[in-house]
Amino acid sequence: MKEIPSDRGARFRIKHAASRTLCFVEAGFTLIELMIVVIIIAGLAAMVAPRLVGRTDQAKRAIAKADISSNLSMALKLYYLDNGRYPTTDQGLAALIDAPTSAPVPAKWSGPYLETLPEDPWGNPYKYRYPGTSNKTTYDLYSAGADGIEETDDDIKNWK
């Protein structure tokens, strides 16, 4: 008669029919088995980790692109539809939160167009210029990127 336990760490009780003796055998993992599992997990981590390391900067750039091309641009377009013009450089993106009080004061401001002004993923405010120097008919909207310095290679902007 054999009793089979429900988990691996329990004892097996084996009853021999002829001798009527009980023998207990400990079941579990040996040190070698545990070491092999640890080595396999470490090997998998060593293969996967390098692929994930460079992704944080890539993700931050994608967030900044999304903010510029959709979130802020949509709010600026709504402002334009209501007022017939974009906020000036002096009014800035704050005009999307509170009605501007400096000239030209919009007569049909229907905001707020954003709940809060977003910062870029590096904690800096987005830059806004109207009329734009790169987009002559509309506005320039950009992030100074990870280095926080304007007009460097890591800038993310709404023009090419």
Query: What's the CATH class of domain 55-157?
Result: alpha beta
For residue 11, pLDDT over 70 is answered with: no
pLDDT in tens, 72-130: 999 999 999 999 999 999 999 999 999 999 999 999 999 899 999 999 999 999 999 99
Q: How long is the chain?
A: 160
Closest CA to 91 of 124, 125, 128, 137: 128
Q: Is the pTM of this model over 0.85?
A: no
Going from N- to C-terminal start, the domains of the chain cover: 2-53, 55-157
pLDDT band with cut points at 50, 70 and 90 for residue 57: confident
Q: Other CB atoms closer than 10 Å to residue 5's CB: what's the count?
A: 11
pLDDT in tens, 13-55: 555 555 555 555 667 788 888 888 988 888 888 878 777 776 7
